[in-house]
Amino acid sequence: MMAESEEMVWSDIGLKSPEPLKAQFNREVGKIVTARTGTEVDFKRPDIVAVCNIDEDSVEVEINPVFIYGRYRKFLRGIPQTRWHCRECRGKGCPRCNFTGKMYETSVEELIGARVVEEFQAEDAILHGAGREDIDARMLGTGRPFVLEVMHPLRQGISLEYLEEEVNRHADGKVAVTFDHLSNKREVETIKSGKAHKKYSILVEVDGEFSVNDIKSSLNTLKGAQISQRTPERVSHRRADKIRKRYVIDVELVDVVDGKYVIEVVGDAGLYIKELISGDNKRTTPSLTECLGAPARVAALDVINVEGVVPEKKTEQMEDKENGTSQRPEKEDQV
């Protein structure tokens, strides 16, 4: 109503370039807030937005999230990247989950987010990772890139160095982080849609007697090969059933320990590593099992390097969304 009224006034008196009352109101309020708080407005990335409703004589304050870019390392197996609600109760609590609402006691997201939420006096902290490792895999090396989104923070300006120390102390050796810089929503989109090569260290069991040369010869067949992977059986209930093409950039045998082979693999993002070894009942080809002519399987898996994230127009999650099968990824996807 007020906007309509002022437009009528402009028309009646013939104003050509009038300034709306809203602009003048915002400027005057801004002056008062600046004078009282000693802060300056940031139009591109404001921490707080105050919405003034003159008709109702009310003010609604919107607190924007804080985004923090960093890398995490996970030293223990059996910890998912993000909170995993109980499949039975969907987080409400039931006998299956011992009334915790969760499938697992904790997660990387919770171990990092707990102290951050306390320091910022926030509602929650959500971890956006550059892919995710399996629950039973460790994340070593320089760590996995992530952006932590801190929801509705009542405090601002906390030192990232101090925050890093507090998170690492609280995580108690299970997880370690390095915080690099304050981020933004755009970097979240980049990190979620990016593609980066990953390097793995795999402890492999093979049925039968094979020489080191036999293993090396089979690995040479895989080196540089394009791998055809039908959606693995272990994730087929939530992934579109289709064949994906990925490349093995490099692979080598680095050690033999108690009859098991330590193999390092560098592969495309989205390459299912366990299936590269096992063949997944011929759903992945070629595989180490196929090359050897004998069953092979992963006994232990570590991610030892995740390269810088390179944005790509379409991710596997986007492809699944287009096929109507998109869900929040569960914790057994090797990407």
In this structure, the answer to whether residues 52 and 77 fall within a common structural domain is no
In this structure, the answer to whether residues 96 and 184 fall within a common structural domain is yes
Residue range 148-182, pLDDT digits in tens: 999 999 998 899 999 999 999 999 999 999 999 99
Cβ neighbours around 171 below 10 Å, total: 22
Question: Does 315 have pLDDT greater than 80?
Answer: no
- Residue 128 domain-assigned (yes or no): yes
In this structure, the answer to whether residues 190 and 303 fall within a common structural domain is no
Which residue among 25, 43, 62 closes a domain? 62
> What mean pLDDT is predicted for residues 99-117?
93
CA-to-CA dists, residue 119 to 18, 113, 159, 164, angstroms: 46, 10, 10, 11
In this structure, the answer to whether residues 75 and 155 fall within a common structural domain is yes
Whole-prediction pTM: 0.80
Which residue among 194, 229, 247 closes a domain? 194
Angle between helices 160-171 and 108-120 (to 10 degrees): 130
Which of 167-171, 225-229, 280-284, 323-327 shows the lowest mean pLDDT across its residues? 323-327
CATH code of the domain in which 186 resides:
3.30.70.2510
Q: What is the mean pLDDT of the chain?
A: 87
Q: Rounded to an integer, what distance in angstroms lies between the CA atom of residue 23 and that of residue 211?
A: 78
**What does the block give as tokens for 179?**
């915080």
- Residue 83 domain-assigned (yes or no): yes
- Residue 8 domain-assigned (yes or no): no
In this structure, the answer to whether residues 246 and 180 fall within a common structural domain is no
Question: Does 146 have pLDDT greater than 90?
Answer: yes
- Please return the burial class of 24, using the count of CB atoms within 10 Å of its CB with bins 0-12, 13-18 and 19+: exposed
pLDDT at 311: 54
In this structure, the answer to whether residues 160 and 218 fall within a common structural domain is no
> What mean pLDDT is predicted for residues 62-83?
95
In this structure, the answer to whether residues 35 and 110 fall within a common structural domain is no
Which is higher by pLDDT, 252 or 99? Answer: 252
> What mean pLDDT is predicted for residues 309-335?
44
Question: Does 335 have pLDDT greater than 50?
Answer: no
pLDDT-derived band at 11, boundaries 50, 70, 90: confident
In this structure, the answer to whether residues 25 and 94 fall within a common structural domain is no
In this structure, the answer to whether residues 187 and 77 fall within a common structural domain is yes
CATH code of the domain in which 277 resides:
3.30.70.3190
pLDDT-derived band at 204, boundaries 50, 70, 90: very high
Residue range 273-306, pLDDT digits in tens: 999 999 999 999 999 999 999 999 999 999 999 9
Q: Which residues are catalytic?
A: 134
Q: Rounded to an integer, what distance in angstroms lies between the CA atom of residue 159 and that of residue 164?
A: 9
Angle between helices 21-37 and 2-13 (to 10 degrees): 120
- Residue 332 domain-assigned (yes or no): no
Domain range holding 156? 66-194
- Residue 26 domain-assigned (yes or no): yes
Q: Rounded to an integer, what distance in angstroms lies between the CA atom of residue 227 and that of residue 222?
A: 8
CB 139 within 8 A of CB 303: yes
In this structure, the answer to whether residues 249 and 277 fall within a common structural domain is yes
- Tell which residue, 307, 309, 302, 295, has the closest CA to residue 334: 302
Residue range 26-64, pLDDT digits in tens: 888 888 888 888 888 887 778 888 888 877 888 888 899
pLDDT-derived band at 310, boundaries 50, 70, 90: low
Number of domains within the chain:
3
Question: Does 329 have pLDDT greater than 90?
Answer: no
